[in-house]
Chains A and B, each alone.
Chain A
Amino acid sequence: MNSFLNRRNFLSHSATGLGSIALASLLEEQRLLADETAPIRPQINPGQPFAARDSHHAAAAKNVLVIFCSGACSQIDTFDYKPELIKQHGKPMPGAEELVTFQGQQGMLTKSPWQFKPHGESGKMVSDLVPQLGDLADDMCFLHSLTGKTNTHGPGENFMSTGYTLDGFPSMGAWTTWALGTENENLPAYVAVSDPRGTPQASVNNWGPGFLPAAFQGTEFNASKPLGNLDIPAGVSSKTDKATRNFLNRLNQRHLEQFPGDTDLAARISSYELAAKMQLSVPEVTDLSREPKSILREYGADDSENKLKAQFARNCILARRLIEKGVRFVQLFNGAYQTGGEGVSNWDGHKSIEEQYSKHGPVLDQPCAAMLKDMKRRGLLKNTLVVWMTEFGRMPTFQKGASGRDHNPSGFTAWMMGAGVKAPFTYGATDEFGYKAVENVATVYDFHATILHLLGLNHKRLTYYHNGFERRLTDVHGHVINEVLAS
């Protein structure tokens, strides 16, 4: 019955799904009903736009936590172990002399300054840059063969977060919350936890709603930066505030009496009730003062030597709490826009990768690993899909005249963890040096299709009509990578 309603609803191009049904010819309707690829529109009640909604098929994961490393974190120095690269260290890469990557010409093949060691029972080789994350290798599902479409940062982040290199397309989180709503309506359905150093390189595009209704934009706040306009205005007591909202409600109710059955007016009234609930629940979830000391220590939030790490650790605790409270989609950023020089505030290691990553590694490693262990302990990984991703990969060579690596979208790594994914597991591989994906080559579209699939969504039927196109997260591409799904 439900799917029938969904199918009928594709006939309308509006989110509320009324309207043109009356006008559609019976013939057209029948033709489209028979179509297994027809769009499935979410049934959105204007009064409760974030109410939880059915998925297309049984979902393995309810929530998503994305850990996004801004600046393009090198696969060569973290998770993609290449013994041949170590052997050929200092030699030219065959064919590299003709390559012109983002910043220019290539120097010699260069092994990672960090040692790789086997981790867990699976013996997965992970570098010493992220040893604590390495210790979770048995819970991880690695994809080593991702391929991108751009080698510049902004478009790279857009591509990973929205499926398009251009600005203005809905983010994965917007698609997800538009389709599924959220389990906890007193909190934003979709939260972007930005890095303590600032917003990522493609900024709010990473959590933008694109052409989807603005309601599905990610709400940005973090442990040190509160949500705007949440507090009662300065100088207004909570008693006065309540009296004012009651007065407003009376005015609106009297007005509504003249429009019985008009949902838009009623929806606006209930949005004020929802706002009031949010005013209570958002401060509650961001208040880390009741977290036990042991948790702060485990995450590194009490690290007085490394302030940045401590701040990021607090964001990690916040991310865990948001997931715990049922927020549908959380995007946790590690790394911000470029400031203070190349690669200082993010993973963009062009000049001297050893020096730059020596600072970034510890900030990411302990807090992030602690968060994942904590989530596992609390049973959150049963319903939550964790996805680690970055913009694109980096070259196995150093840049000519530098001690760092240039951009490389030809083969890079992401990993998944938690609900619905096979672990320990490794899918796909790059060539002997880690330059190009050669085995089970996967596109970012495949990656997105797989994430949606785990959420119970068919990436081909989750579409939104905009400006003449049925748009989807995966454009006109993408296949679910069945190999990574837990049976």
Chain B
Amino acid sequence: MNRQPKTRFHVLTFRCALAVGHLSAVGAEVQFEKDIEPILKQHCTGCHGPDEPESRMRLDRLASMLSGGDSGEPAIVPGDPKASYLVKLIRHKEPGKEMPPDDPLSEDQIELIEKWIASGAKTPESYGPAKAKADLSHWAFQPIKRVDAAGPDEFVRRKLNEHGLKLSCTADRRILIRRLYLVMLGLPPTPQQVDRSLGDDRESAWSELVEEVLASPNYGERWASYWLDLVRFGETHGFEMNRERPNAWQYRDWVIKSLNDDKPYDQFVREQIVGDAVDAPIGTSFLVAGPVDNVKGQDPLSRLQQRMNELDDMINTTGTAFLGLTTGCARCHNHKFDPISQRDYYAMQAVFAGVQHGDRTLPLSKETKGQIAKLDDEIANRTALLRKFIPRQVGASIVLDESEAQHSYAPSGTAAKHGQNQGDFGGTHYTWWKNEPGQDVVTYRPQAKGTYRVWLSWGSGYKTHSSNARYVIRAASAETSLAAVNQQLRADRSENDGKLRWSGFHDGGVHEFTRHDSIVLIGGSEGTAVTADAIVMQPVDQPADSPAAAGESAAVKPTKRPAVNWKRNVDSFPPRSARFVRFTIEKSSGAEGCIDELEVYSGGRNIALASSGAKATSSGDFVHPKHKLAHINDGQYGNDRSWIVSSKDGGWVQVEFPEPVVVDQVVWGRDRTERIKDRLPVGYRIEAATEPGKWELLASSSDRQPTGGSASETYQFAGCPSTEAMQGREWLDEMTRFQKQKADLEKSTTVYAGKFSQPGPTHRLYRGEPDARREQVGPNAIEAFASLNLPVDSPEQARRKALAEWIVSKKNPLTARVIVNRIWQFHFGTGIVDTPSDFGRNGASPSHPELLDYLAAELMDNDWSLKHIHRLILNSKTWQQSNRPNQEALRIDAGSRLLWRFPPRRLEAEAIRDSILAVTGVLDLQGIGGPGFSPFEVEMENVRHYHAKKSYGPEDWRRMIYMTKVRQEREHVFGAFDCPDSSMVVPKRSRSTTPLQALNLLNSNFVMQQADMFAARLEKEHSNVTEQISRTWRLCFQREPSTTELMDSRKFIEQEGLRQFNRALLNTNEFVFIP
């Protein structure tokens, strides 16, 4: 790569030399000591020498020349003068950075330098090695020193002694209990919890209470908010549109659970960088928890800039959250204070270059899989129980309605049937005739061929009905008896209740039919009336004389098939030979009926296709370019490939096969692509013939449920005894519920956890400008600390994995120190290092360096257990001391930085809100996890707008951690209490005191409503004002009121009432400060 520019350079130099007419050193070998060093010494090293070099660029050190100064641009690229920043500067190609500033080099001098670079830029040994060893003497970069100690107190006491201070006395137990609950759970203890603890005078009482609090699920809910601040977690995208990010909440729940489970911190970190590789996929939400600009213009450079910003957010957050290093500085230039080069920054960018913002469908967790398996068991159980309610999958039955049958004489009348339902056959009425014994009454002509089970039905009820009417099959040459029935009774021989009812079906057995056979109802010897209703011929697979067909067990009463639908309908029937199959539309759902494809099957093969030689004809075609007769059997679906009949009154379409074929199924639909629903044939007949005109009925709509009914239900309870049906419906409800739960569980696996793909090459960018690409950079950690030894084109996941392993390595001096310092900060308000996200040279020094190392070592020695660190702190005298001021100590250390007392501080917004809900008694502690509740009414503009909710209900009584985190917007009551708006990482919240906070807490609807509910609670629990006051004090402050307080309160309540009393109490300093 270096050869080409070198050659070009030679030519260029040569020409210049000729033009100038100078010989100088061109042609001869450049000697550093003789030709170059004097120039550098005279013009450069005065500013760029050992003494505070300008831009931290030294021209008397090879390593500095090669790695560059602040700019991150290598001053010298051996063999490539063009790429060397030094040449750009001395040739005045960098506006504003012309070097040397006041005394330009001569052309000869510049050429000499170029030639020296082109020939490899050799320097003598006194210029040092090519790579300088990074200076890691800074305390935070030194290995962690393990110190043996009994606990944190030793270190704190020692430091206090040095300043003539000592620990304050231990606080009152009652105060400590309140402090413990507020600090660890963000909620005040209940009076019962206080009483129980106070009553426990065992020596272990405190440490056991600590354990109890650490085991509470409310611990994770409290401490997760610190972590979410730190990683700029939000549930909208931020920027101009600020749209919702509905699948982000899982990460919040994941953090809460991780803390509650005391997940080892190294694992917690690893899962956030590369959880996709270690069965913790939600963890990687960390990478994309920040804002993202979704308004992308056409300008490619500006899009590139946006992408660089996204990656910068990931690099920065990783650097500051886990390592306490401000890597972001190195985006544009080498880090001014810490050993992080611009190259390191882009090496980290290469680690994350394959990470994109977005939802990811996650594999199910083991836990969810378990839940789903349980639900599957339940569903399977209900499915088995419900099986008997499934109508048997039967082919199309032939329904013979008596109204269409041929009668021997006029009927005497029709009678309405009671209790009729849609699953029944035969309509709502039956017909009755005068009984003429032995005479044919009704003749049904099925025109069907094949094996059928015959089901008979009639109208039952009156004593006048014949008790022995007969049914026969009459063929050309013979008559077969079907049944003799008592028409006073129902088919199952049960007595009627005196009402006219449909008989239900009587099994007439299995019989072979030919096309001309008929079924005849003949008058009985008894009774004055004969009744007739529907007969159903149910196709049977087996021959009539086979035992299976004849057996009682085979008989399943006919039920109606699902209603026709516009997608796909199947009509199966006993196999038979046919040359023609005809589909007759009798009625459509509106206008001329439409079919997109008519398929006729022979043993699983569609033989109706024109391509197989079948020929379509019709009674008439609707004329339209989209709808053609040829579409009926072209093998293509959809409205654009459909046929429409010419008449609104119906008509037929048929296919003719080249020769007779055995057919057993017809499949058809209106629009199989599921778009158009109109023109559906709802009444139809399918017939077959071997010779023209000799039609035999195969199937029809007569045994289908009417459209629009509950036809498509899998289960049918109609016709079952009512208790059975009730039980069945209950099972079905349960199953539906389980199926929904299962679907929800499966759905919740879409998480805003980022998407990963193999990235292209990453380049260092001069000044961080996306169009100023420099050399390619491979994925790596910060070189001064470690190398990940990854090839430039490493697989995406391997990059993040390697970085994560380096971060959580016990040899990494930063990770453990940084997290224990954060824990310390959240206990005491200030960390041991006061700059919690900057442990670099520019950050603050630790107030207690040995304590920091002690805690860091304890963390690593105890399987990275954060709860272990909490235990050490909570059981220390330092934590348990009083927070009362001491004038002498205040004079020496006003900020209580040395911890001569427990530093007092106001609660965070979340803890104030949760405490209010807790004391008023409405806090919903069951609402753990799941999607959050919103404090806003959202105006769904393209650019979202968030307005304060005007009223609040039980859905708002969950803890504030579950409040949907909208970027930029602060909740309208508590946001003013220094709640971050999640646009930025926040390692430490500001703590301000403002009149707006006072106005919000005094006047907001929210607080007034809580005051009301507080008053209602007190009135319900106590009738006596003194007790109500005492109860309020115990709920809010965990103590009894003093006599003065009690008397003042009584007087106030008498005048202004409980509601105002509670309003005041919720605003007190004692309520919102950690004691």
Contacts and interface: CB of A to CB of B under 8 A. Distances in A.
A243 B1052 CA distance: 8
A215 B297 contact: no
B1002 A228 contact: no
Given A214-B976, A271-B995, A104 B942 contact: no
Interface in B108-140: none
A153 B906 CA distance: 38
A152 interface: yes
Contacts of A215: 992-994, 996
A152 B992 contact: no
Interface stretch (B43-51, B236-244, B857-865): B236-244
Interface stretch (A244-252, A310-318, A371-379): A244-252
Given A49-B994, A167-B239, A268-B993, A228 B948 contact: yes
Interface string A390-404: 000000000000000
Contacts of B552: none
Contact of A229 (B239, B295, B999, B1069): B999
A247 B1052 contact: yes
Contact of A152 (B232, B297, B835, B993): B297
Contacts of A154: 239-241, 293, 295
B1070 A251 contact: yes
Most buried by A among B232, B970, B1063: B1063
A83 interface: no
Interface string B819-863: 000000000001000110110101111010000000000000000
| Interface size, B (range) | 35 or more
Interface stretch (B257-265, B778-786, B980-988): B980-988
Contacts of A16: 895
Contact of A262 (B904, B995, B1056, B1061): B904
B1003 A233 contact: yes
A465 B1044 CA distance: 45
B293 A155 contact: yes
A360 B453 CA distance: 83
B981 A168 contact: yes
Contacts of A23: 845, 847, 897
Nearest to B1061: A247
Contact of A240 (B984, B990, B1056, B1065): B1056
B25 interface: no
Contact of B291 (A153, A167, A208, A468): A167
Most buried by A among B240, B297, B840, B975: B240
B240 A102 contact: no
B912 to A, nearest CB: 12
A58 interface: no
Contact of A468 (B238, B837, B905): B837
A167 B239 CA distance: 6
Interface stretch (A108-116, A117-125, A198-206, A448-456): A198-206
B999 A251 contact: no
A462 B885 CA distance: 33
B904 A259 contact: yes
A245 B885 contact: no
A88 interface: no
A217 B887 CA distance: 35
A468 B992 contact: no
Interface stretch (B298-306, B351-359, B665-673, B787-795): B298-306
A15 interface: yes
A468 B990 contact: no
Interface string A370-388: 0000000000000000000
Interface in B997-1041: 997-1000, 1002-1005, 1008
A150 B291 CA distance: 17
A260 interface: yes
A214 B1060 contact: no
Contacts of A100: 298-300
A244 B1064 contact: yes
Contacts of B967: 167
B1045 interface: yes
A423 interface: no
B774 interface: no
Nearest to B337: A468
B892 interface: yes
B390 interface: no
B968 interface: yes
A427 interface: no
A468 B840 contact: yes
Contact of A167 (B898, B973, B975, B983): B983
A134 B895 CA distance: 55
A328 interface: no
Interface string A10-29: 00011110111011000000
Contacts of B894: 18-19
Interface in B276-328: 291, 293, 295, 297-300, 302, 305, 309, 320, 324-326, 328
B978 A151 contact: no
B309 A166 contact: yes
Nearest to A153: B240
Interface stretch (A73-81, A274-282, A296-304): A274-282
A211 B302 contact: no
A256 B1069 CA distance: 9
A51 interface: no
Most buried by A among B298, B326, B843, B942: B298
A337 interface: yes
B676 interface: no
A175 to B, nearest CB: 14
Contacts of A229: 972-973, 996, 999-1000, 1002-1004
A136 interface: no
Given A248-B1068, A255-B1070, A468-B838, A152 B295 contact: yes
Contact of B995 (A247, A256, A261, A275): A275
Given A23-B847, A247-B1064, A338-B942, A265 B996 contact: no
A151 B302 contact: yes
Contact of B968 (A203, A212, A252): A203
B1070 A240 contact: no
A31 interface: no
Contacts of A267: 993
B999 A275 contact: yes
Interface string A332-349: 000001110000000000
Contacts of B998: 268, 271-272, 274-275
B873 to A, nearest CB: 20
Most buried by A among B993, B998, B1063, B1073: B993
Nearest to B325: A468
A248 B905 CA distance: 19
Contacts of A211: 984, 986, 990
A155 B293 CA distance: 9
Contacts of B477: none
Contact of A244 (B890, B905, B970, B1056): B1056
B999 A468 contact: no
B504 to A, nearest CB: 65
Contacts of B1004: 228-229
Across the A-B interface, the 4 shortest Cβ-Cβ residue pairs: A154-B240, A168-B983, A468-B838, A468-B326
Given A152-B302, A337-B240, A468-B325, 4 more contacts: A211-B990, A214-B976, A264-B905, A467-B984
Interface of A: 13-16, 18-20, 22-23, 46-47, 49, 100-104, 150-155, 165-169, 188, 198-199, 201-205, 208, 210-215, 217, 219, 228-233, 236, 240, 243-245, 247-248, 250-252, 254-256, 258-262, 264-265, 267-269, 271-272, 274-275, 277-279, 337-339, 407, 465-469
27 contacts: A13-B844, A20-B844, A100-B300, A101-B297, A102-B302, A154-B239, A168-B981, A203-B968, A203-B969, A204-B968, A204-B981, A205-B983, A212-B990, A219-B996, A243-B1052, A245-B1064, A251-B1068, A252-B1068, A254-B1042, A254-B1044, A258-B884, A271-B993, A271-B998, A272-B995, A277-B995, A278-B999, A468-B842
